[in-house]
Structure 1
Amino acid sequence: MGSGVVGTATGEGFLGAGHQVTFIDVAQHRLDDLRSRGYDARDEIDLSDEPEAFILLTLPTPHVGREYNLNAFAAGAASVGKALATATARHTVVVRSTVPPGTTEGLVRTSLEEHSGKKAGVDFGLASNPEFLRAVSAAEDFRNPWMTVIASRDEDTLAALRELLLPFGGELRTFSDPAEAEFIKCAHNVFNAAKISFWNEMWLVAQEIGLDLDPIASTVAKSAEGSINPNYGIRGGAPYGGVCLPKDTNGFLGFAAGIGVDMPLLEAVVDTNERLEAVVSREVDAATAEAAGAELA
């Protein structure tokens, strides 16, 4: 469902692995292109005579202001729900689009059950399998994934997805809550964006003092503990401390200000850490008071 960059790369990847694939899309130019390549492409989904299948939702979820626009996604889920109503086989609906955490078991599950009259986990499977495809190399990324994430409340659905996706290789991680998989994909993209903005902020400083950032950044990409240790800094609820990090974040902010460069991202890093320090301090005080009260009792 949805045959843009992600949907087409996904479908072609499964075709290359020997699976039977039907592309669904509402855009005529996409259908014409897919049919010109000999693919089965349709403008609506019909499951009345279909054997057991995976229905992959690869629909657009653009943003409007500071919110996801899930209109196309909601329409697609409703279409699938109506198709499930006449289905005789037990199908599995898989959310691959990037969506806010809770969408699979919220909007999607509600719509599927409402329009089909059937129950998720009983009459049809429901799962999240977020895509990690880059637009410039989507087909290659699908054929050779470095990471595959699947999540479902239903063990049978997880097992079926493992069997479907394991042959493509790469590390496969499974979760029991679809919101975890959705959160992973959102955090994945936000982290990439934050990293780009971090180095752009550093580039502004380097430009101001006449340095070439490229060799600096490539060296830090090898020297920083966060680059060589994937577990560094990922434990939530633990603000940074010690001597070096507080000293250099604040000191570099002052250095940049002295040469006339604003660093809002680094300002936010320091502010976030200070807020976390306050939260942890309150939690420690509360735990200490509770323990003291228990001793008195």
Structure 2
Amino acid sequence: MESFMHSSRIFIVGSGVVGTATGEGFRAFGHRVSFVDISPSRVRQLQARGLDASTKLDLTDEPADAVIFLTLPTPNDGLAYDLRALTEGTAAVGRALAATDRRHTVVVRSTVPPGTTDGLVRSVLEHSSGRTEGEGFGLAANPEFLRAATAGEDFRNPWMTVIGSRDLRAVAQLRHLLTPYGGKLRTFSDPAEAELVKCANNLFNATKISFWNELWLVARRANLDLDDIAATVADAAEGSWNPRYGIRGGAPYGGVCLPKDTRGFLGYAEEIGVEMPLLRAVVETNDRMVEVVDQEADVAVSIPFARASTPATV
């Protein structure tokens, strides 16, 4: 009940699915929440639901330090993130900070490429507010892991909460806000690490879906039921039930089974007329990683100091 005894002032900048679920989740725990969105129709919808919403962020009359969540869209533009909405929203927050003497904390909750919080967001805030990060405002990354269909439920019952900040005060604020919801909590001193957690999370999910779709094509051609097969693999394969399997970077797979079966199955798929570009990319990626590891080992051996000072790996 601590969250009800010590309520916080929260602003949600960007009130789409993620922003609304985030704000309503905080309201349910007794925090005072205001929504901000540039869309007048969206603001009217929120107001019709009894929520405090506006098209402009105003911090002038705030008597206490607030937490401002950036939940702005970051769609792709070809092979890049489109950060225009994030940039514009951040600039608006900076202008609001310039009009107050309080030290508010800005939290990037949008999905962004690593380095965005410390780079783009910090520089835009400093430029538009005339303040310095750390002294004039706090800054942190707190990526969301919400599914569109169940965003509210996911916020109230998180599997994982990630906080990234160099600002210990900002970390403490977010811990206070987010710990009552339960789930695992991970903190990073570099916001880029928290940002990469979210990106990697989505990339892993996409890769897993594409992997099983590729196997579905094989199973369909071979007249096999993939549903039962996949369910069995989820229980049997170490990569499914051991969360730490294969996550150590710089360690290509080797041994007997994985190299022979990845290549052998590519041949089988070709024989039955199914292309497996993802599996082929797996083999090629591993081959490149073997080359990288071998090259680094050669360099280490050629430098006596490095050879003497580098701890042995197991």
Q: Report the TM-score when normalising by structure 1.
A: 0.97
Equivalent residues, number: 295
Which letter does structure 1 place at the counterpart of 2:278?
A: L
Q: Is the 8 A contact 1:113 1:119 kept in 2?
A: yes
Q: Report 1:164-179 matches (<5 A).
A: 164-179=177-192
Q: Which residue of 1 aligns with 2:85?
A: 72
Are 2:236 and 1:241 equivalent residues in the alignment?
no
Q: Which residue of 2 aligns with 1:277?
A: 290
Deviations 1:3-38 (A, max 9, x none): 000000000000101000000001122111100011
Are 2:51 and 1:39 equivalent residues in the alignment?
yes
Are 2:173 and 1:160 equivalent residues in the alignment?
yes
Instruction: Please point out which of 207, 211, 220 is paired with 2:233.
Output: 220
Instruction: Please point out which of 76, 88, 102 is paired with 1:63.
Output: 76
Instruction: Please point out which of 78, 102, 108 is paired with 2:121.
Output: 108
Which letter does structure 2 place at the counterpart of 1:3?
A: S
The secondary structure found in structure 2 opposite 1:77 is helix
Instruction: Please point out which of 27, 34, 38 is paired with 1:22.
Output: 34
Instruction: Please point out which of 133, 148, 152 is paired with 2:161.
Output: 148
Instruction: Please point out which of 245, 265, 278 is paired with 1:265.
Output: 278
Q: Is the 8 A contact 2:300 2:306 kept in 1?
A: no
Q: Which residue of 2 aligns with 1:194?
A: 207
User: In structure 2, how many angstroms separate the alpha carbons of the residues matched to 1:87 and 1:188?
Assistant: 37
User: In structure 1, how many angstroms separate the alpha carbons of the residues matched to 2:289 and 2:272?
Assistant: 29
The secondary structure found in structure 2 opposite 1:242 is coil
Which letter does structure 1 place at the counterpart of 2:220?
A: Q
Q: Where do 5+ consecutive residues of structure 1 fail to align?
A: none
The secondary structure found in structure 2 opposite 1:140 is helix
How much does 1:292 deviate?
Answer: 9.3
How much does 1:119 deviate?
Answer: 0.8
Instruction: Please point out which of 222, 238, 260 is paired with 1:209.
Output: 222
Would the alpha carbon gap of residues 259 and 19 (structure 1) be closer, same or farther in structure 2, given more than 3 Å must change? same
Query: Percent identity at matched positions?
Result: 64
Q: Where do 5+ consecutive residues of structure 2 fail to align?
A: 1-12, 309-314
Q: Is the 8 A contact 1:49 1:88 kept in 2?
A: no
Q: Which residue of 2 aligns with 1:49?
A: 61
Instruction: Please point out which of 124, 138, 141 is paired with 2:137.
Output: 124
Larger displacement relative to structure 2 (4-13 or 281-290): 281-290
How much does 1:271 deviate?
Answer: 0.1
User: In structure 2, how many angstroms separate the alpha carbons of the residues matched to 1:14 and 1:291?
Assistant: 57
User: In structure 2, how many angstroms separate the alpha carbons of the residues matched to 1:43 and 1:83?
Assistant: 13
Q: Which residue of 2 aligns with 1:230?
A: 243
User: In structure 2, how many angstroms separate the alpha carbons of the residues matched to 1:232 and 1:46?
Assistant: 48
Q: Is the 8 A contact 2:301 2:307 kept in 1?
A: no
User: In structure 2, how many angstroms separate the alpha carbons of the residues matched to 1:283 and 1:124?
Assistant: 42
How much does 1:291 deviate?
Answer: 2.9
Are 2:47 and 1:5 equivalent residues in the alignment?
no
The secondary structure found in structure 1 opposite 2:32 is coil
CA RMSD of aligned residues (A): 1.2
Which letter does structure 2 place at the counterpart of 1:4?
A: G
Q: Which residue of 1 aligns with 2:8?
A: none
The secondary structure found in structure 2 opposite 1:63 is coil
Q: Is the 8 A contact 2:300 2:307 kept in 1?
A: no
Deviations 1:255-279 (A, max 9, x none): 0001110000000000000000011
User: In structure 1, how many angstroms separate the alpha carbons of the residues matched to 2:123 and 2:89?
Assistant: 13
